[in-house]
Amino acid sequence: MTPASRRVGAAAALLLALVLAAVAAPWIAPEDPTRQDLAATLAPPSRGHLLGQDKLGRDILSRVLHGGRVSLIVGLATVASSLVVGGAVGAVAGYAGGWLDDLLMRVVDVLLAFPGLLLAIALTAVLGASVQNVVLALCLIGWTGYARLTRGEVHRLRSREFVEAARALGAPDRRILWRHVVPLLTAPLLVQATFGMAGAIVAEASLSFLGLGAQPPTASWGAMLNDGRAFLLVAPHLTIFPGLAITLAVLALNFLGDGLRDLLDVRPATDLWR
């Protein structure tokens, strides 16, 4: 086993554990995550409630488990949709060049130049706050990053010798794009996507800060972190555990992407130093 595959294995195992915990939340959570107990608000971790109780006396462990469902789905859905839209637009722009490139990149620029937060607020104001709309808003903001990255890479690859050679041999554009360019895009996009998923999980939290994330009583890590923020001074356990969950997910995602990148790298001799 190479170090890279071992790393992928470890990160994937951690991520899988988080995903499994989230999927199995309804069965393994010790309590209903919405069950309130106003007599025990902000109670610290105890035998009955391993991670303590929140501002409304709800079991934090159960909420962290259930919250993972929302946070992970938001992350996954956001990245998937952004990647598809951004990757396609970027590849077309980068490969076609010329006016199409200019036009598409101007659209990207306009959206990139536009404060995403405002877009999110506008969207949720019109459509109402919900998990679906959070994904929509994050995708609307997020796809442009992938588009620019893809376009830059394609642009760079287009003038590479092997692409020029393929073109000189009369290969059709689509084939060049799929056979020669797209495989080389995987690594940088994967790096971006793992970050993107981590970023989306954190961004969902930021939208929660504005009150625009998951709606009560649904728990998400971001919403828990935001709800608990007011109690940082008196009950830090409200934020430590969802914060830890986010951190773990972000770390796992990044190490996974990192390892995958090394594993999938088609180019030889990455281990030049050895």
Partner 1 sequence: MTRLALRRVFLALPTIVAAATLVFLLVHVVPGDPVDVMLGESAAPADREALRHALGLDRPLLTQYGAFLTGLATGDLGRSLVSGEPVARLVAERVPATLELTLGALVVAIVIALPLGVLAAARPGTWIDRAAVAFALLGAAMPSFWLGPLLIIGFAIELHVLPVSGRGGLAHLVLPACTLGLGMSAILTRMTRASVLECVGEDYVRTARAKGVGRVGVLARHALANALAPVVTILGLQFGALLAGTVITETIFAWPGVGRLTVEGIQARDYPVLQGCILVIAAGFVLASTLADVVNAALDPRTRPGAPEVR
Partner 2 sequence: MLCVLSCRGAAPPVPPGTLVVALESAPAILDPRYTTDANSSLVSALVTRGLTRVNERAEAGPDLAEAWQQPAPLEYRFTLRADATFADGTPLTATDVVATYRSVLDPALRSPKREALAAVADVVAADPRTVVVRLHATTAAFLETANLGILPAALAHHGPLPREEVVGAGPFRVVGTLPDGGVELAAAAASMDGTPALPRVRFRVIPDGTVRALELASGSVHLVQNALEPDLLPWLARRPDLELVISPGTTFQYLGMNFRDPRLADRRVRQALAYALDREAMVHRLLRDTARPATGLLPPSHWAYAGDVAAYPHDRTRATALLAESGLGPDARAAARRFSYKTSTVELRRRIAEVFQDELGMIGLSVDVRSYEWATFYADVRRGDFQLYALAWVGVADPDVYYRIFHSSMRPPQGNNRGAYANATMDALLEAARATLDREERRRLYAEVQRLAADDLPVIPLWWADNVVVKSRRLTGFVPAPDGDLRSLATARLEER
Residue 156 near partner 1 by CB under 8 A: yes
Give the three-state DSSP class for 95: helix
Interacting positions 89-108 with partner 1 (CB under 8 A): 102, 106
Q: Strands, DSSP E only, in 169-233?
A: none
Residue 44 near partner 2 by CB under 8 A: no
Q: Of these partners, partner 1, partner 2, none, which one is at the site of residue 36 (CB under 5 to 8 Å by kind)?
A: partner 2
Q: Quick one: tokens of 21?
A: 């915990």
3-state SS record for 42-91: CCCCCCCCCCCECCCCCEHHHHHHHHHHHHHHHHHHHHHHHHHHHHHHHH
Interacting positions 229-248 with partner 1 (CB under 8 A): 229, 232-233, 239, 243, 246-247
Residue 3 near partner 1 by CB under 8 A: yes
The count of residues in the chain is: 274
Binds partner 2 (CB under 8 A): choice among 118, 165, 230, 263 = 230
E strand or H helix that includes residue 224? helix 221-229
Residue 145 near partner 1 by CB under 8 A: yes
Residue 34 near partner 2 by CB under 8 A: yes
Residue 204 near partner 2 by CB under 8 A: no
Question: Closest distance between partner 1 and the C-beta of residue 190, in Å?
Answer: 10
For 36-68, give one letter per residue: b (16+ CB within 10 A) or e: eeeebebbeeeeebebbbbebbbbbbbbbbbbb
Nearer to partner 2 by Cβ, of 233 and 266: the residue is 233
Phi then psi dihedrals of residue 233, to 5 deg: -80, -30
Query: Would you say the C-alpha torsion 186, 188, 189, 191 has a positive or negative sign?
Result: positive
Question: Closest distance between partner 1 and the C-beta of residue 269, in Å?
Answer: 5
Interface positions with partner 1 (CB under 8 A):
3-4, 7, 102, 106, 109-110, 112-119, 121-122, 125-126, 145, 148-149, 152, 155-156, 158-159, 164, 167, 187-188, 191, 195, 198-199, 202, 205-206, 209, 222, 225-226, 229, 232-233, 239, 243, 246-247, 250-251, 254-255, 258, 261-262, 265, 267-273
